[in-house]
Every structure is written in C-alpha cells, then in structure tokens.
Amino acid sequence: MWLKFEQRPEPSRLMRYLSPLLAVGLMVASGMLLFHLLGKSPVEGFKVFFLNPIQDKYGIAELFLKATPLILCAVGLAVGFRGNIWNIGAEGQLLIGALAGGGLALHFHDTSSLLLLPAMIIAGALGGMFWAAIPAWLKTRFNANEILTSLMLVYIAELIVSWLVHGPWMDPDGFNFPQTRLFQAKATMPILVAGTRVNAGLLIAIGALIAGWIFMNRSFMGYQMKVAGQAENAGRYAGFSARRTVWIGMLVGGAMAGIAGVAEIAGPVGQITEHISPGYGFAAMIVAFVGRLDPIGIFFSGLLMALLYLGGEQAQQYLALPYSISKVFQGLLLFFLLCSDVFITHRIRWKK
Amino acid sequence: MQPSLLSSILFATIVAGTPLIITAVGELVTEKSGVLNLGAEGIMSMGAVAAFAVTVHTGNPILGILAGMVAGMGMGLIFAVAALTFMANQVASGLALSIFGVGLSAFIGKPYESQTLPSVAAWNVPGLHKIPLLGHAFFEHQGLVYFSWALLGAVAWFLYRSRLGLVLRAVGEAPVAAHSVGYNVVRIRYVAVIFGGAMAGIGGAFLSVFYTPLWVEGMVAGRGWIALALVVFATWRPARVMVGAYLFGGCMITQMFVQGSGIQLNIPSQFLSALPYAATIIVLVIISHNKNTIRLNSPASLGQPFSPEA
C-alpha cells in the first residue's frame, strides 16, 4: 500500500462540490486515452464527442430533449436514494408509465380534446407508481430486497412492451412492424422552439426539479427521508416510519419515471415501440449521484449525461465507434465520482 | 438411443442452472467476507465477451474460459478498489460496475456480433453416462457443468472445514474483531471480491462459449441479478445455491420446451420469457418473509465499509 487515507476532522464542503468536477475531469481524460487506444486522435475524439453535439441551436435543443427524461427520473430516484431506498427499476417504471399514457393516446385516437395530453401524463405517473408500488409493497410487507425486485420488474416491463407492440397494440397498417400507430397531434407534446424537437416535456422536468427542491429542502417529509437515510437509528428514535419512507421513496421515483416515459412517447418517439428508452432509467441513477442527489446538481448532471448520449451518436457517425461507447463513459463517470467522494471525508497520506 | 423427454428436461435444467451456480457461489464467497457486490451482471457480460473474443481468435474454448475469468478478476479488482480502498458505497459501486460492464461489453463485442462458434463437445463420464434416464441428464455434459459441482463442493469445504474459511467468515461477521487479532481485513476482502469476480467471469464465459455459442449484446439478460437473488434464496449456504440454481434453470427452459413441443398454448411467448424474473421475485418474497432467516444467516457486516483506522 503506497497511499493511505486519513480521516478528516470534518467532511470537506469544498470537496463535496469539487469531487463531481474531478470525476468529470477523470472521465474526459480516460475517454481521450480510450480514443488514443482505439487509434483515433484524442483531440479529434474529444471534439467529436463533447463539442460536435452542441455546436448549433438544434444540437443544444437536442441536449435539452435528451436531458428531459434523465432529469425527471433522477429527481424521483434522488428522493428515494436520500432515504436509502434503492429503487433501481426506474427503467421499468418508465416503460409502464409510457404504456399507461400511450394506451390512453391509442384509445382516444380520434378525440380532439385538449385534455388528452394532461390525462396521458397523469396516467403515466400512475402507471409508473403502480410498477414502483410492487417492490414497495414487497419490501414493507415481506421484507423483500427492493434492489432485486425492482430490477426484475424491468425485464418484465420490457417483455410486456414487446408483447403489446407485437400483439394487441400493433399498428394494423404498419406492415407488421412491432410498433403502435403514430399518436395524433393532440397526444403529442407541443414543441417549444420552432425548428427543433425540444418540447413541453422540458418544462415538466424543470417543474419537477423545483418541486423536488422544495420537497427535499423545505418539507418536513423530505427532512424525515434524509434523516432516515443518513442515520437509520436516529430516524427510528424520532418516530419516523421506515415503512412510509419506503413508500414515498418508491412512489415518487415511479411517478417521475412514468412521466418521463410519457414525455418520450408523446415527444421524440411519437408512438410505442420496443425502443422507447436507451436505458434512461439506469443512466438516471448516475445523474442522481453525480448531481449529489440535489435538484440543482441533477439539472447539470442531466445535461452532462445527455451530452454523453449525443456524443455517442456522433462517435458512431464520425469515428465509426459503437454507440455503446456512451454507456462506457457513463459507467466511468459514476466510478470516478464514487471514488472521488472519499476526499470529502478523507485526505491522502503517502507512505513509503 | 434417443433420450426421453424427462431426461432431456433434466439435462437442459442442469445446463441452464450452471452459470447461475458458478456466479452465485462466487458472490457467496464475496458476501461471506462482508462485501456486497451488485456488479455480477456487468462482470458476467465482460466475462462473456472476453471469452467469446478469445475463443474466436484462438479456437480454443479453454483459453476462452480463462479469458472470461481474467476479465472477471479485473472487474472484481475495479470494484474492490472503489469499495474497499476508496471506501465508496458498496451498493452504488456495484451498480456502477453493472452499468459499466454491460456498456463496455457491448462496446468491445460490437465486431463479434452475429458471429458464432462451433459448439463445445460434451464429456461423458465413463460408465455413469450409460445409466438409463439419469445418465444423459447428469453425465453427458460439457466440462464446466462438472466444474460447477466441484466448485460447490470446494467452496462448501473451504468455508466450513478450513481455517482460512473460518477467517473469511470472521471477517464478514466481525471485521473489527478480526482486525484486532491481526487479520488484514481489507486484503482478505480484496481476495474474496476478486474470487467472486473470477467466478462471475466464468459464469459469463459459459453463456457465450458453451450455452449459446455466440455473442449478442444483452445476452446475460439478468442472470447476474438472478445469481444475486440466489444467494439470498440460499440464505448464504452453498448447497442451497445448487437447489435454487436448478429451480431457476428449470424455469428458464420451461418456455423452450413448451414452445418446442408443439403444444398449442394460448400464452404469448413474452409471458413465458418473463417466468424466471417473476420466479425470482416470488422466491425472494418467500425467503425474505421471515426476517429472522435473513438476519441470522446474512454476514453481519454485509455492505458496510471497513476502515482499519477507525
């Protein structure tokens, strides 16, 4: 052992904010190393991956478009993570939310009511909550580990989507493609900036950030969640119900993920297919951590993660690298963050 | 002689359960040392892709397994550095490892997508494989199936009959006490985590080189998570891992047999495919229902970081 960590007398506030930046720096550096190893110019790789995607209005709009589901899911997850509720099934909750909202859109395909879109969003939230309620119930009633149950439900949700788009909900005029018919205008999110795809979903995400900030920092329940998460026993002595913490953590996460699902199908996707989400529910966990489980942080980390998705598309197009390079960057980022966090409570001591 | 249906079902169940046993036994050892590594899905993915790539280039499945094992050890090492040296939250680090491993394996595996390997020949146990019914089911397997049985026996012996196993369990139950009598808790945990990684890597290698000799993105399909659930199901006891793994193996092959048998069922295939995942949930519920079983059997320090200074 050459390096040892020495406990700081008290956690460093400075490092709390520096560690995400350090993590981003390390991710970029290792990304450039990766480009080098792949025989690409690191500078060129950096440009293509991190700068290309946001060089014009359309690119920046795409950044916010991609950030929308990530931010929505991450705010919801952060509420749970603060209370030590490990909902890792946001991806499934997103899909079930999309089915609930999308089902409504398909059923009322001919309506001209302006209420359709709001109803879809509410249905999406309820759908996501329902899917999250299953692990919550299994946890509170049967003590079953929510990490594993919520994750298993992701696979089940994917199979339900697959069944619906191959079967009952398949577009009759779709030449047998596994997808539903395209949603009508009243069932799609209004575009915010003409000439781009960024839509009203972004406003919902920003609303969720504000609501999340108020809940976490200004409400008694948010405080209870935090205490329960940081010091379980203290929470118990104070009479905070662990059961309620689980329910709130899971349901808020599910509702947000469900809304994110509707934002996708009523936004860029425009129908239900098997490819509603390129893993937004999982990436959102990274967004939540990198954002320090804090709405302001989540806003920025959501944009960063969106950039990683866009960068992956660019790398695929201009560097002929597989799209999954995005996920490599995402995983690296989370690792570096988790490791940098040691500096909040410790400092390095070098040993001979 | 054509093996009977029952014999075939048993055979397929054992094959499907094998990667689960190997991975879950590795995780069991890791957890016994007090470390919760949720990265099994990512490690298996890396093991699968490494094994496949090396087997494609060398034509040698043994080298493939070794590559899968080395990849798994590397992944275990990454996790150990984060969770043990940097004392990062184990749950979060494990999730990171899973996301990273699934992503990186997809990245590395892109050029190998849609390639296939010749299937690896089975090794029939002399004499025993001629037993009617059971012979085919148990003794006409590929080598890794026998390896999974040997592994189970070895780990059970190690944990409960060897001195080192006792030390490992002590580190998981009471790291502070183990530290105070002079054991290097962090180093022992490093070894346990890397061993767990090696096994998950082999579990992944089994999938891509033996089970379905091809590589496709997402082919691990939750088996890493199911293996984690198996450890809970087994209440941290090796023999029960085997029972659980074959239970799940049976679940996984049910759909193949139903679909292949020509029985006209009015059930969409997706519902059958969901069976193993639903079964995992149900089994977890049944086992976790009694809080005492979990509390008494899980290693007392599971998931808690340990710092030798504190």
What pLDDT sits at residue B121? 81
Of B304 and B179, more confident: B179
Determine the residue among A138, A159, A169, A329 to mutate to test chain B binding: the one whose Cβ has the most chain B Cβ atoms within 10 Å.
A159
Task: Work out the minimum CA distance from A290 to partner chain B, whole angstroms.
Answer: 11
What part of B 176-235 touches A (C-beta under 8 Å)?
Answer: 217, 221-222, 225, 228-229, 232
User: Does residue A305 carry a pLDDT above 90?
Assistant: yes
Overall average pLDDT of the B219-228 stretch: 94
Q: How is residue B24 written in tokens?
A: 């879950």
Span A224-238, average pLDDT: 79
Which residues make Cβ contacts (< 8 Å) with residue A85, sequence separation at least 6? A146, A229, A245, A246, A249, A250, A253
Average pLDDT over residues A4-28: 87
**Per-residue pLDDT, A3:** 67
Best residue of B100, B108, B232 to probe chain A, by most A CBs closer than 10 Å: B100
Position A294 pLDDT exceeds 80: yes
Bridge partners, residue A179, by sequence: A273
User: The tokens of B251 are what?
Assistant: 């679940």
* Span B48-83, pLDDT tens digits: 999 999 999 999 999 999 999 999 999 999 999 999
Nearest to B102 among A149, A155, A327 (CB): A327
Mean pLDDT for the stretch of residues A221-247: 82
What whole-number distance in Å separates Cα of residue A89 and Cα of residue A285?
10
Q: Which of B100, B232, B284 sits opposite A335 (nearest CB)?
A: B100
Helix, strand or coil, per DSSP, at residue B285: helix
Where does the pLDDT of residue A222 fall: very low under 50, low under 70, confident under 90, or very high at 90 and above?
confident
Residue B1 reports pLDDT greater than 50: no
Average pLDDT over residues B197-224: 94
Q: Which of the four pLDDT bands, split at 50, 70 and 90, describes residue A214?
A: very high
Q: Which pLDDT belongs to residue A17?
A: 84
Residues 19-78 of B with CB under 8 A from A: 38, 42, 78
Examine the pLDDT at A152 and tell me if it is beyond 80.
yes
Least confident of A70-74, A317-321, B49-53: A317-321
- Specify the pTM: 0.93
Task: Kindly tell me if the per-residue pLDDT of B310 is higher than 90.
Answer: no
CA distance B52 to B222: 19
Give the three-state DSSP class for B301: coil
Instruction: Work out the average pLDDT over B76-100.
Output: 93
Least confident piece of the model among A59-73, A213-227, B140-154, B207-221 = A213-227
Percent of chain A whose pLDDT exceeds 90: 75
CA A84 to chain centre: 17
Mean pLDDT of A37-44: 91
Q: In this predicted model, what pLDDT tens digit does every residue of A244-292 receive, in sequence order? A: 889 999 999 999 999 999 999 999 999 999 999 999 999 999 999 999 9
pLDDT on residue A150: 95
Residue of B nearest to A323 (CA): B107
Q: Which of A29-38, A120-129, A232-241, B172-181 has the highest mean pLDDT?
A: A120-129
Q: How confident is the model at residue A2 (pLDDT cuts 50, 70, 90)?
A: low
pLDDT tens column, B245-294: 999 898 888 877 776 666 666 778 888 889 889 999 998 898 888 888 77
What is the predicted pLDDT for the residue at B231? 94
In Å, how far is B270's CA from the nearest CA of chain A?
A: 5
Residue B309, pLDDT score: 67
Reduced to 3 states (helix: H, G, I; strand: E, B; else coil), residue B141 is strand
What is chain B's mean pLDDT, rounded? 90
pLDDT score of B3: 67
The burial of B165, by beta-carbon neighbours within 10 Å (0-12 exposed, 13-18 middle, 19 or more buried), is given as middle
Q: What is the pLDDT of residue B124?
A: 84
Model pLDDT for residues A295-304, shown as the tens digit of each residue: 999 999 999 9
Instruction: Identify the residue with better confidence: A174 or A24.
Output: A24
What is the overall mean pLDDT for chain A? 92
Q: Is the pLDDT of residue B295 over 90?
A: no
Q: Measuring CA to CA, how many Å separate B199 from each of A117, A251, B142, B231, B249?
A: 50, 36, 17, 14, 18
Average of pLDDT values for A127-143? 96
